Amino acid sequence: MKARMLTAIMLVAVLLACVFSQKSYATYKQNITPLAVRRGCESHVSYSPPPLIATWYFVSSAAQMHLKAQPTYYGNVATGDWWVNNKPYPMENVSALVANVTVVIPGATHSGNDNTYQLRMAIAMVVGSGIPPIIQNNTTTIYTELDFWDSPSLDQWNGDWVVGGDVARFHFDDLPLRRQRDYSVDFVPYIERTLKGLTSYGILMNDTLLETYVVIESINSTTESWVAWNNYATTATLFSSYSEHLNSTILKAWGATYDPLSPNWNPAADINKDKAVNIVDMGIYGKHYQDETWCKQALNNYLP
Ligand SMILES: [Ca+2]
């Protein structure tokens, strides 16, 4: 009897989910290509002697970076997409943020201490307090890093990521030297995990995107490396409305129970805040799905 009731409830839940997921969205996704970006680069090196070397250059749609670093010095060199005039790009209705790039590592050498020496793609975002309904103050920069090459002492992963401070680092790939590889990666799931790991919340309404880039980073190591990329481009796909965004958020978290570090858990999807995402949340959403203000508040994890 219990099993039957459960089956019936699940059927109704799936039906409701389907109904609301299909409802009233004439255009499912809206592509904006390209984002308002400028191709950019930056480097941070400590120039005390002995001098470090950090160079980059662009040829057409390609770039090459070179970093040579010594112990007790910090260095990185980054090239990628910087948003125009450093004006952050709003993430509030972004459903996908896809970077396409072809990468090759012509060389990477190290000696001695190598525990902070990585080649990666990265995303920098500005987020606020992360504790709604407090108004966010947009002051904290959070980094999501996708390592495609780690020096040996860093390449000891327990799970696919580590998170702490202002950064999450993911084990994205182990790209062999001198092997060309095409990446097409949606940053949004990684960003959501980063933010959940650091603030307990996913992407919130006031969060903004600063830049996406490819970077060589070396701290306190004797290292030298080169990274070349081609055809780097970041494009975003937007939800057509807050309602569609919230609907998608609930469906993605469907069945999840409270676990701040789980990729499936999203507090914004748990509308009645009972630490489970289920038919009750979809039911409440169903009463308000035409109310864009309400949906925006729910996405921002504010409980009306
Ligand atoms: Ca709930």
pLDDT tens readout for residues 70-124: 777 777 888 888 776 556 788 888 889 998 899 999 999 998 778 889 999 999 9
pLDDT tens readout for residues 225-272: 999 999 888 888 889 899 999 999 999 999 999 987 788 888 889 999
Over range 219-225, report the average pLDDT: 86
Q: Which residues of 17-40 are buried (b: 16+ CB within 10 A; e: fewer)?
A: beebeeeebeeeeeeeeebebeeb
Q: Tell me which H or E stretch contains 293.
A: helix 292-299
74-88, 176-190, 192-206: least confident range: 74-88
Q: How far is the CA of 149 from the centre of ligand 1 (A)?
A: 40
CA-nearest of 263, 243, 252 to 190 is: 263
Q: How far is the CA of 268 from the centre of ligand 1 (A)?
A: 10
Residue 36 — pLDDT band, cuts 50, 70, 90?
very low
**CB 120 within 8 Å of CB 215:** yes
Q: How far is the CA of 276 from the centre of ligand 1 (A)?
A: 4
Q: How far is the CA of 161 from the centre of ligand 1 (A)?
A: 28
Q: How far is the CA of 281 from the centre of ligand 1 (A)?
A: 5
pLDDT at 138 over 70: no
Q: How far is the CA of 292 from the centre of ligand 1 (A)?
A: 20
Name the residue with higher pLDDT: 96 or 127.
96
Q: How far is the CA of 266 from the centre of ligand 1 (A)?
A: 10
Question: Who contacts 184 (Cβ-Cβ below 8 Å, separation ≥6)?
Answer: 98, 99, 100
Q: How far is the CA of 253 from the centre of ligand 1 (A)?
A: 10
3 state SS of 164: strand
Q: How far is the CA of 272 from the centre of ligand 1 (A)?
A: 5
Q: How far is the CA of 286 from the centre of ligand 1 (A)?
A: 14
Q: How far is the CA of 287 from the centre of ligand 1 (A)?
A: 15
Per-residue confidence (pLDDT) for residue 43, from 0 to 100: 58
Task: Give residues whose Cβ lies within 5 Å of ion ligand 1.
Answer: 270, 272, 274, 276, 281
Q: How far is the CA of 18 from the centre of ligand 1 (A)?
A: 18
pLDDT at 281 over 80: yes
| Residue spans per domain, the chain | 2-28+240-299, 30-239
Q: How far is the CA of 136 from the centre of ligand 1 (A)?
A: 24
For the chain, state the CA radius of gyration. 22
pTM of the entire structure?
0.81
Q: How far is the CA of 282 from the centre of ligand 1 (A)?
A: 9
CA-nearest of 205, 196, 232 to 79 is: 232
Mention the CATH class of domain 30-239: mainly beta
Q: How far is the CA of 267 from the centre of ligand 1 (A)?
A: 9
N residues, the chain:
304
Q: How far is the CA of 279 from the centre of ligand 1 (A)?
A: 8
